[in-house]
Amino acid sequence: MVHYKSTMVEPIDLPSRGDRERALEEAGYNVFNLDAEDVFIDLLTDSGTGTMSEDQWAALLRGDESYAGSKSFRRLEAAVDDVMGFPHVVPAHQGRGAENVLYGTLLEEGDVALNNTHFDTTRAHVANQGADPIDCPVEVATDPGAPGDFKGDFSIERGREVVEEVGTDRVPVVIQTITNNSAAGQPVSVENTRRVAEFADEIDATFVIDACRFAENAYFVTEREAEYAEASVADVAREQLGYADALVMSGKKDGLSNVGGFVATQDEALADRCKQRAILYEGFPTYGGMAGRDMEALAVGLREAVEEAYVADRIEGIRTLASLLEDRDVPVYTPTGGHAVYLDAEAVFPHLESSDFPGQVLVCELYREGGVRGVELGSFAFPGTDRPELVRLAVPRRTYHREHFEHVADAAAAVLERADEATGLEIKREPEVPELRHFTAELEPS
Ligand code: F0G
């Protein structure tokens, strides 16, 4: 199923093995420090790295760069209302800017935020308010082989346990991340969203949906949740998001844009409070760190994200990569999630301990073998938490095709073949904020 032809091309090149070895060493065995030029297939993230459509490029030209009351902002507002069903929009330069605006408004020192699983920037923003981010994934979420249609769900039982322990007053915010990025991009059912909304209501908390990948999530719902078998992705998306009091959104994912984000809410008073903080950190509330052009591209991208042909092609592309890897016996997290294929580094390197950072070893080996850049989401990225040692191969939207995926799968197969020779890594230098260490830390072979 292919729904695009390329009308702009970017040459890519595989550096020699010697150059890759050198680049890796110079990067301190941390692929965030590599130059993009030294990467052949870049699966570091699906965030802001996708290809825009002809309509998005056309929209850029009508960007209204007015400081206040830009026409482009009005078009973004209308798109958010039409696609997501939220009338009040506070724009931000990207998702984490929106997180700062919303969580800075809702959380205080000593509070607790519950989330099916906090993404790293979410965790850091909650912690930055002096609040405690507590994950409430369902048990199967951390089992890379367990079956399950909605392994991204929020465990209400776990949420209740926390509330009983700390008291309702300390839990002003309940968050649901759809899809659940840190749990292998697994989807969340609408049924679960409905129940979490009731739970949040019961404890008088604001229910926030982190909507980064809302369209991908809605596609899974139409496939797997009987009640929605006949529904459109657009209808599911609106219904699911509609249970939330507020959204935080990174336009760099299902906004199909290279930059941008926003907070959206039904609650005018909350929007007004967010705007005050947005002015301080992001910009006047009719641009929020985006150029008018960016808002135009995002407005068009949001509408495209819920088109059936787009989202079907998107999810099938990820499944193609997963099945090419499985054909070569590379252990992958199943079922495949929305935006990425997650490799199980513990299964690739059974002889390595988590203190050897097996996920990071796998990331380095994939680069060494094929110039492929993935990202570790295990004990290197999430110190002190008990997680499976996963490596994420995130797929930029509308960018790579089957032949790229074949190269990735061949590289992974080559790593697997000599997996028993791999040795661990240790940290040489790390930043002060532990939640963000994987972005800048340097490692060395132990
Ligand atoms: N929430 C989730 C679930 C995310 O995945 C991200 C970003 C953010 C918030 C922050 O958005 O990047 O626009 O500031 N995830 C990217 C990733 C970076 O690679 O998964 P942002």
Average pLDDT over residues 246-266: 98
pLDDT of 434 above 80 = no
d(CA 276, CA 355): 44
The residue whose C-alpha atom lies closest to atom 16 belonging to ligand 1 is: 47
User: Residue ranges of the alpha helices (H) in 28-89?
Assistant: 54-60, 71-84
Task: Read off the pLDDT of residues 210-255 as tens digits, 9 standing for 90 and up.
Answer: 999 999 999 999 999 999 999 999 999 999 999 999 999 999 999 9
Nearest atom in ligand 1 to the alpha carbon of residue 45 is 19
In angstroms, what is the span from residue 408 Cα to ligand 1's centroid? 23
Pocket test for ligand 1, best of 123, 250, 342 (most atoms within 8 A of CB): 250
421 C-alpha to ligand 1 centroid (Å): 34
Q: What is the mean pLDDT of the chain?
A: 96
Residue 177 in contact with ligand 1 by CB distance below 6 A: yes
**Residue appearing with tokens 């890796």:** 24
State the average pLDDT over residues 110-135. 95
- What residue owns the CA closest to ligand 1's atom 1? 119
Q: In this structure, which residue's CA is closest to atom 11 in ligand 1?
A: 95
Is pLDDT of 3 > 90?
no
434 to 59, 376, 386, 437: CA distances (angstroms): 40, 15, 15, 5
Residue 138: name the closest of 122, 124, 149, 127 by CA.
Answer: 149
For 371, the token pair is 């110039």
Q: How confident is the model at residue 144 (pLDDT cuts 50, 70, 90)?
A: confident
Is 261 touching ligand 1 by the criterion CB < 6 Å? yes
- How, if at all, do strands 88-92 and 261-265 pair? antiparallel
What's phi and psi for 252, nearest 5 deg? -75, -5
Query: What share of the chain has pLDDT > 90, as a percent?
Result: 92
What ipTM did this prediction achieve?
0.99
53 lines ligand 1 (CB under 6 A): no
The per-residue pLDDT for 438 is 87
CB of 96 shorter than 6 A to ligand 1: yes
For ligand 1, say whether the CB of 115 is within 6 Å of any of its atoms.
Answer: no
Distance, CA 351 to ligand 1 centroid (Å)?
32
CA nearest ligand 1 atom 19, residue: 45
Taking the C-alpha atoms of residue 446 and residue 444, their distance in angstroms, rounded to an integer, is 6
d(CA 181, CA 152): 8
| Candidate from 118, 212, 435 with most ligand 1 atoms within 8 A of CB, to mutate | 212
> Does residue 145 or residue 12 have the better pLDDT?
12
User: Does 309 score more than 90 pLDDT?
Assistant: yes
- Averaged pLDDT for residues 129-150: 95
Tokens of 353: 């301990």
pLDDT digits (tens, 9 = 90+) for 182-209: 889 999 999 999 999 999 999 999 999 9
pTM of the model: 0.96
CB 129 near ligand 1, within 6 Å: no
Tell me whether strands 425-429 and 442-445 are parallel, antiparallel or unpaired. antiparallel
Pocket residue to mutate for ligand 1, from 46, 49, 96, most atoms within 8 A of Cβ: 96
d(CA 162, CA 175): 14
45 Cβ below 6 A of ligand 1:
yes
Place of tokens 């392994």: 151
pLDDT of residue 29: 97
Task: Dump pLDDT digits (tens) for 35-80.
Answer: 999 999 999 999 999 999 999 999 999 999 999 999 999 999 999 9
Atom of ligand 1 nearest to the CA of 98: 14
- CA 177–ligand 1 middle distance (angstroms): 10
> Which pLDDT score is estimated for 1?
63
All structural domains of the chain = 17-39+308-445 (3.90.1150.10), 54-305 (3.40.640.10)
Residue 127 CA to residue 111 CA, distance in Å, equals 10
Q: What is the DSSP string of 150-167?
A: -TT-B-HHHHHHHHHHH-
pLDDT at res. 2:
65
Q: Which residues, including other chains, have CB under 8 Å from residue 226's CB and lie 6 or more apart?
A: none
